[in-house]
Amino acid sequence: MSQPRKRSGGPVRLTTSSATALRPAITSEITGGMWAHRRQINRDVSIPAGWNRLHQAGNFHNLELAAGRTTGDYVNDLPFLDSDVYKWLEAVAWAFADPALDSSLADLLRHWLDETERLLRDAQQPDGYLDSHFQVRFPGERFVQLKWGHELYCAGHLIQAAVALHRTTDDAGLLEVARLVADLVVNTFGMQPGKVDGVCGHPEIETALVELYRETGAEPYLAQARYFVDRRGHGLLGDGRFGRHYWQDHVPVRDAASVEGHAVRQLYLLAGVADVYAETSDAELLEALKRLWAEMAASKTYLTGGIGAHHSDEAFGDPYELPNERSYCETCAAISSIMFSWRMLMITGEAKYADLMERTLYNGLLAGLSLDGQRYIYSNPLQVRDGHVARGNDHDYERVEWFHCACCPPNVMRTLASLEHYVVLGSDTRAVLHQYLSGRYAAGVAGGEVWMEVATDYPWDGTVTIRLAEAPAGRWELALRVPHWAEQPTLTVNGTPVDTALTDGWWVVSREWNGGDEVVLVLPLEPRFTVADPRLDVARGAVAIEYGPLVYCLEAVDNPGHRLDDLTVDIAVAPKVGPVNDSLGGVATIRTAGRVRPRTSASWWPYTSADARARDELGESVALTAVPYYAWGNREPGAMRIWVPTT
Amino acid sequence: MSQPRKRSGGPVRLTTSSATALRPAITSEITGGMWAHRRQINRDVSIPAGWNRLHQAGNFHNLELAAGRTTGDYVNDLPFLDSDVYKWLEAVAWAFADPALDSSLADLLRHWLDETERLLRDAQQPDGYLDSHFQVRFPGERFVQLKWGHELYCAGHLIQAAVALHRTTDDAGLLEVARLVADLVVNTFGMQPGKVDGVCGHPEIETALVELYRETGAEPYLAQARYFVDRRGHGLLGDGRFGRHYWQDHVPVRDAASVEGHAVRQLYLLAGVADVYAETSDAELLEALKRLWAEMAASKTYLTGGIGAHHSDEAFGDPYELPNERSYCETCAAISSIMFSWRMLMITGEAKYADLMERTLYNGLLAGLSLDGQRYIYSNPLQVRDGHVARGNDHDYERVEWFHCACCPPNVMRTLASLEHYVVLGSDTRAVLHQYLSGRYAAGVAGGEVWMEVATDYPWDGTVTIRLAEAPAGRWELALRVPHWAEQPTLTVNGTPVDTALTDGWWVVSREWNGGDEVVLVLPLEPRFTVADPRLDVARGAVAIEYGPLVYCLEAVDNPGHRLDDLTVDIAVAPKVGPVNDSLGGVATIRTAGRVRPRTSASWWPYTSADARARDELGESVALTAVPYYAWGNREPGAMRIWVPTT
């Protein structure tokens, strides 16, 4: 078996004292299947295009202004354009660890990286300060516009990029730039006299500083992350136009009962809190993390794993306030949810966190990127109405090449480029395969290393074959996640059925393993109808179609001749897998029986007495075709919906 | 019978050549009932408080800066603070026509009015320009920031105030100020060389200029209104952050198929288009008006008459996109809808326009004001969730005394202060009573005047008694609106039942009337369950409770011990009128049978298989108490909902 080039760490690399139940894999490589294809497009199309887009959008221009290399005005009215460059850099960094990276592209990326690194060095001020927006527009004004300035947010993304690059290439140049920034932050912020006692309007630096601590061993970074976590929630930011909840400054995270405010801010913060917990074992933080994740999952998460119900403040709504047409579901928020859930999975070892990761990966996140890797969507609706009028801004429903506020595209890039790390975990006693992606993975278990080769056509087929290429001696556990939706799964080891029971979502096989052992997990896949908690009013009397981890939707283009708003689904007839749709990259379609609701009276007013409505007819029969939600919006514009009323 | 002091016109006074089926009443006075009480509070509490609020909020300060009377900075970041003063002035103007206005309050209002008039004269520049925001912040910069500057919007409100004051008091001083502004606008804007070819980002001046034409007879004002109507929709404003639909600049109104964008902008525009139609008989405009009203009513209007589904751009959504928790339903938008529908009623004589006016008056508008007349709500939700977290901004769900963007409060004031004009209309052949408010009204009919005295306890009682105090000789028609929800109404004339059929929502009695004739209309009132068009997903499987023109809601305070989100209503049991609630000003409550839905499994995930959900139980029985929607939010904060799932 060929091994990945380099035993690189991923976005999280724990310390020897981290308080987690599970630890990241030693090495990971995705070798085939749907995600390998998406990663190839990300690597070969999206990331290279990012270089050009960031130049066209002015991000590099702004840094060149800060470096004194050019003249002109700061481009764009947003203060955080540097962060897009950093997220793109992080994507480049992860791409270097991809064994499938073509050498000429690798050279090009290396060249761009070197150029960018020189640019950042030139822009960085002697004491470490680096932020093009403030250097150009507010020279000398540092760390005073904490509400909206995003200085620490940008610093966090720089740190993450530098850590990633250090992990995949041993390149310490960018890390040096980032450490100068981090040291300035450490020296600037705190409760001691002469320091700034404050937090950033947009959390992000917390998780970055913990990772920098993990990478360098320098404890002040961890202490600083803890400071930022602890000082948030005391009103230091004051009221912004959306109130204190918006930036989670209304209550300390230890005391918070619910996720609130801007969804990305909330979950970047919680990812950072999880990191702080992992390195400090602060039990109060862990309780808060569990409580907030549970509240989010149970009452503020869309079927797709998407989060954020409000457009105006990009925020969580109230419990069960999950509008379909205006689901905000920012692509970045899906990413932040995966970051948070992954950390909770490592900390607790509980399968539900991996379940939500999977749902969010296959639906809420993946819908944010076009199939060709060239266009993005910012907010991901669960429904587009017949008669929708495109309003032409960042938050509309048509995919575009770049945004005025382009946080999502490079965030998608860095996530896909590091996806291999989100598959396998290990502990002293257990190797855990929690996502089903074909590839080669190694986890440290029982004092040795488990090397597994995973082969599957998931999510189109539910059979997952795991070959243990190497296995440490002695008894240890192999744990496979059985998703919460799976019915009647089967498991064999070397052809022999395993009859141990499922434990909290894991199928755990404890035995003395040998190299060459083969485990086959079968998750029977049948299309299914899903309903929502009755408190979720917008889905009342409706079903969604799901298939394995995939949420499906109806698109107008597949259901011509009718308005989607007039279609109902007959749940007495089981949905079936239909023909493969090649124009959508070979996805399985699903066919199901429905009706076309007759148009009711031509009254001017759409509300009527309950008695009158009871006389409505069912309407003519029609066969409905559904496609995976992640593939929607890749053909002609038109209506779309996930929740379909029952006949 | 005592007559109103003065035969004042209302917000619309037609010309002799206006192309309308019906014309405003000659004189109107509301003498009792719910609305008289609300108008008393408006007159004695809200309007006087407005003077202080406008001073505290800096509106007067800004004008004093423009007048050179004081020094400092323009207060508030919004450019249209003058308009709040003008709307308040308009409210004061209408209040002068109220026979119940106390003389000492009249003196105080007169004093404030004189002071304000002097201030405006001082602030106005020699050529007529008057806009404190531009005079203070961008001196010399005129009519260039048309997208967001609101100069013409402010001018429109000034004109409306001046016209109102001229109508109620013959005071020509403010009209002089307004005409100088209007003349400057006429001389500035146009397609001729040297003029500015443009429109305002916020429509409003169109309807104001037509009214100024009606008041003064000066045709250039009408021509200018027509110019602004015709030039909108050609992209002159360019793209704002919400796209061209936001300010209705995406397509000329003649060609528009749907109401789009910012709801108040759209309907102020359509009110102006209706006025231009009425004075020009431009048939294409009338077709557009009918088409757009119908599209709005059928697919973009909430049960309450509220409009505007988006918080982020205060805009109409797609058809049937009417989220309950985030219904924007700005109070100003309800007012703009009443303005539009009233004009359509006059133009066409069709009852549906009066039906929507009534619904919007009693629900969408009235909910915007607290019962004590001292607090306002900006966006009017149809549902507040259990667990709602107040986020503390203009658009939250708790009533406050004033807003950062305080467009709504003075808009409510001017509407209530002129409400008597929205009751009766007339034509050569017909006197029309389209709203049921106790009072004295006179309409010009058949070459003479019909004077009617209306007595009713509507909306609590459906009996309306109309005594004809004076009646012109000869045969003419009395038309009474029978609301679309009314079942089995009865009508008697001098005690004799009338058996003519209803015609398109009107009960028309044609006869030779005599002074002293008494007509009694009975609209039997029973609480009823209402359902929505099935395309309105958010109301699927739910009913609303209505009673006459009133939409009811459940509030947590009336239904203690349960979470509102867990309640269902049993529609097999008819709802009944319950005890009067004195703490809400004597409203009728409604009692109905329901159940408390048992909490389902404690799964971490709120979505499950359709089969699993079918096993849910009905839950224990509970009696539900509903109150009028307009009275919600006047007690302790808590959950509220209009649409309640059926058991």
Q: What is the pLDDT of residues B123-159, one digit of tens each?
A: 999 999 999 999 999 998 999 999 999 999 999 999 9
CA distance A411 to chain B (A): 23
B211 phi and psi angles, rounded to 5 deg? -70, -35
Task: Select from B251, B313, B604 the residue whose CB has the most chain A CBs within 10 Å, as the one to mutate to test that interface.
Answer: B604
CB A94 within 8 A of CB A8: no
From B530, B542, B604, residue closest to A609, measured CB to CB = B530
CA distance A516 to A235: 58
From B242, B571, B604, residue closest to A297, measured CB to CB = B604
- Element holding A411 (H helix, E strand): helix A408-417
A107 phi and psi angles, rounded to 5 deg? -65, -45
Which residues of chain A are modeled with pLDDT < 50? 1-5
Task: Check A309 against B326: CB less than 8 A apart.
Answer: yes
Task: Check B303 against A608: CB less than 8 A apart.
Answer: no
B314 part of the active site = yes
A40 phi and psi angles, rounded to 5 deg? -65, -45
**Please, which pLDDT band fits residue B2 given cuts at 50, 70 and 90?**
very low
Helix, strand, coil shares, percent, chain B, to 5: 40, 20, 40
Task: Check A298 against B385: CB less than 8 A apart.
Answer: no
CB B451 within 8 A of CB B470: yes
Task: Check B540 against A566: CB less than 8 A apart.
Answer: no
Task: Check A531 against B395: CB less than 8 A apart.
Answer: no
What residues of chain A lie within 8 A of the CB of B310, using their CB? 311-312, 326
Task: Find residue A547's DSSP bridge partners.
Answer: A550
**Please, which pLDDT band fits residue B392 given cuts at 50, 70 and 90?**
low
What residues of chain A lie within 8 A of the CB of B258, using their CB? 387, 389
CB B293 within 8 A of CB B274: no
∠ CA B523-B99-B464, nearest 5°, is: 10
DSSP A277-319: HHHH--HHHHHHHHHHHHHHHHHSB-TTS-B---SSS-B--ST
From B326, B393, B604, residue closest to A298, measured CB to CB = B604
CA distance B299 to A386: 11
pLDDT of residue A501: 87
From A325, A533, A540, residue closest to B541, measured CB to CB = A540
CA distance A627 to chain B (A): 19
Task: Find residue B607's DSSP bridge partners.
Answer: A532
Structure tokens at A511: 């035995």
pLDDT in tens, B45-95: 999 999 999 999 999 999 999 999 999 999 999 999 999 999 999 999 999
What residues of chain A lie within 8 A of the CB of B389, using their CB? 245, 258, 260, 318
CA distance B116 to chain A (A): 31
Helix, strand, coil shares, percent, chain A, to 5: 40, 20, 40
pLDDT of residue A3: 34
Residue of chain A whose alpha carbon sits nearest to that of B639: A318
pLDDT of residue A600: 65
pTM over 0.90: yes
A405 part of the active site = no
What residues of chain B lie within 8 A of the CB of A565, using their CB? 319-320, 535
Structure tokens at B389: 């977290």
- Look at residue B4 and tell me whether its pLDDT is greater than 50: no
CA distance A104 to chain B (A): 41
Task: Select from B389, B398, B526, B570 the residue whose CB has the most chain A CBs within 10 Å, as the one to mutate to test that interface.
Answer: B389
Residue of chain B whose alpha carbon sits nearest to that of A570: B610
pLDDT of residue A394: 74
What residues of chain A lie within 8 A of the CB of B348, using their CB? none
What residues of chain A lie within 8 A of the CB of B569, using their CB? none
Residue of chain B whose alpha carbon sits nearest to that of A239: B392
Three-state secondary-structure class, residue B42: helix
Residue of chain A whose alpha carbon sits nearest to that of B546: A609
Task: Select from A321, A324, A528 the residue whose CB has the most chain B CBs within 10 Å, as the one to mutate to test that interface.
Answer: A321
Residue B478 CA to chain centroid, in angstroms?
A: 26
Which residue, A272, A125, A143, A126, is CA-closest to A213?
A: A272
- Look at residue B395 and tell me whether its pLDDT is greater than 80: no
CA distance B565 to chain A (A): 6
Task: Check A324 against B537: CB less than 8 A apart.
Answer: yes
**What integer best gives the mean pLDDT of chain B?**
95
Task: Check A323 against B326: CB less than 8 A apart.
Answer: yes
Question: Of how many residues is chain A composed?
Answer: 647
CA distance A428 to chain B (A): 28
Q: Which of B29, B90, B215, B314 is catalytic?
A: B314
Residue of chain B whose alpha carbon sits nearest to that of A597: B534
Average pLDDT over residues B445-465: 96
Which residue, A289, A205, A277, is CA-closest to A15?
A: A277
Instruction: Tell me how crowded residue B634 is: count the other CB atoms within 10 A of its CB.
Output: 19
Q: Cite the beta strand spans of B542-643 per DSSP E.
A: 542-547, 550-555, 567-569, 576-581, 587-596, 607-609, 620-628, 640-641
CA distance A367 to A630: 4
- Alpha helix ranges (H) inside A533-638: 610-613
What residues of chain B lie within 8 A of the CB of A392, using their CB? 239, 243-244
Residue of chain B whose alpha carbon sits nearest to that of A612: B531
CA distance B96 to B165: 8
**Please, which pLDDT band fits residue B397 given cuts at 50, 70 and 90?**
confident
CA distances from A53 to A56, A58, A228, A402, A403 (A): 5, 8, 33, 7, 10
- Look at residue B211 and tell me whether its pLDDT is greater than 70: yes
Q: Look at the alpha carbons of A375, A379, A380, A384 in this order and tell me if their dihedral is positive or negative.
A: negative
Q: Which of A200, A407, A408, A553 is catalytic?
A: A407
Average pLDDT over residues B583-601: 91
Which residue, B128, B537, B193, is CA-closest to A326?
A: B537
From B241, B318, B391, residue closest to A393, measured CB to CB = B241
The lowest-confidence range among A381-395, B327-341, B421-435, B628-642 is A381-395
Residue of chain B whose alpha carbon sits nearest to that of A245: B391
Task: Check B528 against A298: CB less than 8 A apart.
Answer: no
* ipTM > 0.85 for the complex: yes
Structure tokens at B269: 């525009």
CB B356 within 8 A of CB B341: yes
pLDDT of residue A615: 62
pLDDT of residue B133: 98
Task: Check A294 against B597: CB less than 8 A apart.
Answer: no
Q: Which of B200, B329, B332, B407 is catalytic?
A: B407
Half-sphere exposure of B391 (CA within 13 A, CB side): 25
pLDDT of residue B615: 62
Residue B140, amino acid: G
Three-state secondary-structure class, residue A608: strand
Task: Check B325 against A303: CB less than 8 A apart.
Answer: no
CB B27 within 8 A of CB B7: yes
Above pLDDT 70, what percent of chain B? 98
What residues of chain A lie within 8 A of the CB of B566, using their CB? 535
- Look at residue B601 and tell me whether its pLDDT is greater than 70: no
Task: Check A260 against B536: CB less than 8 A apart.
Answer: no
From B383, B389, B542, residue closest to A245, measured CB to CB = B389
Task: Check B530 against A608: CB less than 8 A apart.
Answer: yes
pLDDT of residue B389: 83
Instruction: Tell me how crowded residue A122 is: count the other CB atoms within 10 A of its CB.
Output: 13
Which residue, B42, B76, B312, is CA-closest to A242?
A: B312
